[in-house]
Amino acid sequence: MRTHWLLSLCVAALAIQLAAADVSFTIGDGNRADFVDLNGQIKVYPADQPTTFIKMKLVRLEEVNATGAVEQGVTNFATESFTWASPELRLIDGVNATAVAMRKTLNRQTNTTFGITALVFHKDADTPYGTGTVHVYSRAVKFTVEVEKWPFKSASNKLRLVAEVLHVGGNSELNGQATAIHSGETRFSFGPGAIDAQENSINDGVMTSASSLVTTTGTTHAVQWTFAHFASTLAYDARIEIVHAEDSDIGAASAVQTMTCAFALAVAIALMAMQRAL
């Protein structure tokens, strides 16, 4: 009985980690990026080690007042299904990039829309952002959050986006630790990867201060971005990526996990064979 339980557990775990994506393609440094319609998920992982990954999925988008209380919003992105369009090739400042995007109308009466455009550059590149530039590695997925015509109840209110982050492998003690990496950027480290967040959004075409932090509830970790009021349009850039092996021990924990599960499978299969023989 225990043998069947162990076998089922490992098979289920591997099935969850290797679930098919709606859009998937190779990115830099031997990695892949998956885009899943459910929750607008973005997942990055080494192509030859898919059980090591960092994944982000949308949870909610909400308007909050000065006390942080929610006044309105989409509080159930967790069950929302988006549609990632087919990848397309773009030329950005002389550098080829693969783009994939999704967009959804949240309120037809006010024509409020929410979308994400993800870019993967075919080589490391400096891309414009507001009045400056952002350095993007080819192993990273740069994603731009875009909101149009949000019907704010008050000009003093803000818009908050929350995304859950899941990770397997790498340093298991990294669950959103913050580090300043470049001027105007904060890195949140998770296991084998990281999410790099800008300290400014572009509100109605103007660079505006934005805040980001990681919240933890039990074993659930989420990145929370908060944006100032805007009249018409909001654009915000961030990145999700696997960190270089020389920067952290990204392979160690994942290798142990993969070997443990493989060993358990082998033992379970052997024991089942012996039981049949007896």
On the CB side of 111, how many CA atoms lie within 13 Å of its CA? 4
Query: Shortest CA distance to 95 belongs to which of 144, 133, 55?
Result: 133
pLDDT score of 79:
82
User: Along the 278 residues of the chain, how does pLDDT read in single tens digits?
Assistant: 444 444 443 434 443 444 468 999 999 999 999 999 999 999 999 999 999 999 999 999 999 999 999 999 988 887 888 999 999 999 998 999 999 999 999 999 999 999 999 999 999 999 999 888 889 999 999 999 999 999 999 999 999 999 999 999 999 999 999 999 888 899 999 999 999 999 999 999 999 999 999 999 999 999 999 999 999 999 999 999 999 754 433 333 333 333 333 333 443 444 444 444 54
Report the C-alpha gap between 99 and 120 in whole angstroms: 7
Instruction: Give the pair of three-digit tokens for residue 88.
Output: 């397309």
Write out pLDDT tens, residues 184-216. 899 999 999 999 999 999 999 999 999 999 999
Burial of residue 259 (number of CB atoms within 10 Å: 0-12, 13-18, 19+):
exposed
pLDDT of residue 274: 46
Per-residue pLDDT at 73: 93
Vertex 99, ends 104 and 49: CA angle to 5°?
Answer: 105
> Residue 89 has what pLDDT?
97
The confidence score (pLDDT) of residue 76 equals: 84
Domain boundaries, the chain: 2-277
pTM score, two decimals?
0.81
**pLDDT at residue 245, rounded to an integer:** 52
pLDDT at 223: 98
Angle subtended at Cα 225 by Cα 118 and Cα 167, rounded to the nearest 5 degrees = 65
Q: Are 8 and 268 in contact (CB under 8 A)?
A: no
Closest CA to 194 of 228, 171, 219, 210: 171
